[in-house]
Amino acid sequence: MTSFENKCKVIAELWSFDRDGEQTFSELWEDYDLSTPIAHALYNGWVLDISEQAERNIEDLFDSILEQLSLADTGFESYRDLL
């Protein structure tokens, strides 16, 4: 199982490469338009505490990424593990 910190890291890394929405995850970035930057801010240490709802949304976003890629959660440490 991927830790919450690593989920934020994976989301932040993917978003950095696909931020303009021209790649694989454009619909997810639109659907989770608040969760994505929050995950990015957590990963970078700019935010230290978030609400339970924000945490659930980040969890849902990560699950959606895995679903879109047809992957099971095997304990990812970075976006490269998804490739």
| pLDDT, tens digit, 9 for 90 and up, residues 58-78 | 999 999 999 999 999 999 999
pLDDT tens digit sequence for 1-10: 999 999 999 9
Q: Looking at residue 73, what is its pLDDT?
A: 96
Number of Cβ within 10 Å of residue 57's Cβ equals: 19
For residues 40 and 25, the model is more confident at 40
Ranges of each domain in the chain: 4-82
Q: Vertex 41, ends 61 and 71: CA angle to 5°?
A: 30
0.85 cut: is pTM over it?
A: yes
